[in-house]
């Protein structure tokens, strides 16, 4: 089985276990959850059995009815780092088209989405953000060097990282080609 299909199968298992666990924590029967979410009881039975490839909008309705985040349904149960998800949430049979939820963060006010390009040898130095702020980085092309205090981290294309940004940090391009990355600032 291709890697993407294995990833999708594991997400179905995560959804199955999480929906059942969260439904029981909320003291809801499948019928009650069906009524609250607008999702048929038959569909919920199939989801909890791990038998149904469910749409993202259906999962949104189930999450809302359970009063949890969408990511709480697809994340591996018992994950040590609950901000790092990295799960295929949607794909088609060819597995070339897909949506991967990489990470989540609590936001008090807003989330800013930035596209950055740094040419070779360039750097951006950032002061410490306020307590409670965080950043999510995703490298599209090239290699990004992230400096947080004394820590130096390197990320290549298709790698991501999330960190609290209340320490001075810098983005640097130590490579020979431009680095392009996406930066979310969670405020």
CATH number, domain of 176, equals: 2.60.120.10
CATH number, domain of 95, equals: 1.10.260.40
In this structure, the answer to whether residues 86 and 70 fall within a common structural domain is: yes
In this structure, the answer to whether residues 126 and 176 fall within a common structural domain is: yes
Q: What is the pLDDT of residues 5-30, one digit of tens each?
A: 555 567 889 999 999 999 999 999 99
In this structure, the answer to whether residues 93 and 122 fall within a common structural domain is: no
Count CA atoms closer than 13 A to 54's CA, side-chain side.
31
In this structure, the answer to whether residues 79 and 15 fall within a common structural domain is: yes
Give the burial class of 136: count Cβ atoms within 10 A of its Cβ; 0-12 exposed, 13-18 middle, 19 or more buried: buried
Number of folded domains that form the chain: 2
pLDDT band, very low/low/confident/very high, at 168 (cuts 50, 70, 90): very high
How large is the average pLDDT for residues 122-134? 91
In this structure, the answer to whether residues 134 and 174 fall within a common structural domain is: yes
In this structure, the answer to whether residues 148 and 99 fall within a common structural domain is: no
Nearest Cα neighbor of 165 from 184, 180, 179 is 184
CA distance 32 to 137: 40
- Which of 73, 103, 133 is the last residue before a domain boundary? 103
Count CA atoms closer than 13 A to 12's CA, side-chain side.
17
pLDDT band, very low/low/confident/very high, at 1 (cuts 50, 70, 90): very low
Strand locations in the chain (E): 84-91, 98-103, 111-118, 123-126, 134-141, 143-148, 151-156, 160-164, 169-172, 179-186
pLDDT band, very low/low/confident/very high, at 95 (cuts 50, 70, 90): low
More confident residue, 69 or 19: 19
pTM given for the model: 0.70
How large is the average pLDDT for residues 90-104? 75
Residue-level pLDDT at 94? 62
In this structure, the answer to whether residues 23 and 82 fall within a common structural domain is: yes
Range 140-172 burial, b when 16+ CB lie within 10 A, else e: eebbbbbbbeeeeeebeeeebbbbbbeeebebb
CA distance 168 to 138: 19
Measured in degrees and rounded to the nearest 5, phi and psi for residue 120 equal -50, 135
In this structure, the answer to whether residues 96 and 156 fall within a common structural domain is: no
Tokens (6 digits) for 47: 């989801």
Q: What is the pLDDT of residues 104-119, one digit of tens each?
A: 888 888 888 899 999 9
Nearest Cα neighbor of 22 from 57, 58, 74 is 74
Residue-level pLDDT at 9? 65
The boundaries of the domain holding residue 174 are 111-186
Q: Is the pLDDT of residue 100 over 90?
A: no
Q: Using an 8 Å Cβ cutoff, are 67 and 6 in contact?
A: no
In this structure, the answer to whether residues 137 and 45 fall within a common structural domain is: no
How large is the average pLDDT for residues 121-125? 93
- Which of 51, 85, 103 is the last residue before a domain boundary? 103
Helix residue ranges, H only, 26-145: 30-37, 41-48, 56-66, 70-74
User: How many other C-beta atoms lie within 10 A of the C-beta of residue 105?
Assistant: 17
């Amino acid at each position: 089985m291709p890697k993407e299909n294995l990833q999708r199968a594991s997400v179905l298992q995560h959804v199955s276990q999480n929906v059942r666990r969260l439904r029981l924590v909320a003291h809801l029967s499948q019928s009650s959850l069906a009524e609250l979410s607008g999702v048929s009881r038959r569909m919920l039975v199939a989801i909890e059995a791990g038998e149904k490839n469910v749409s993202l909008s259906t999962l949104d309705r189930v999450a809302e009815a359970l009063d949890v985040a969408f990511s709480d349904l697809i994340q591996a149960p018992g994950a040590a780092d609950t901000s790092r998800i990295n799960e295929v949430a949607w794909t088609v049979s060819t597995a070339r088209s897909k949506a991967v939820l990489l990470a989540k963060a609590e936001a008090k006010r807003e989330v800013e989405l930035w596209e950055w390009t740094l040419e070779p040898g360039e750097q951006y130095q950032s002061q410490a953000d306020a307590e409670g702020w965080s950043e999510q980085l995703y490298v599209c092309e090239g290699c990004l060097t992230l400096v947080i205090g004394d820590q130096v981290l390197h990320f290549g294309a298709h790698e991501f990282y999330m960190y609290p940004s209340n320490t001075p940090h810098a983005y640097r391009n130590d490579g020979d080609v431009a680095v392009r990355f996406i930066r979310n600032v969670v405020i």
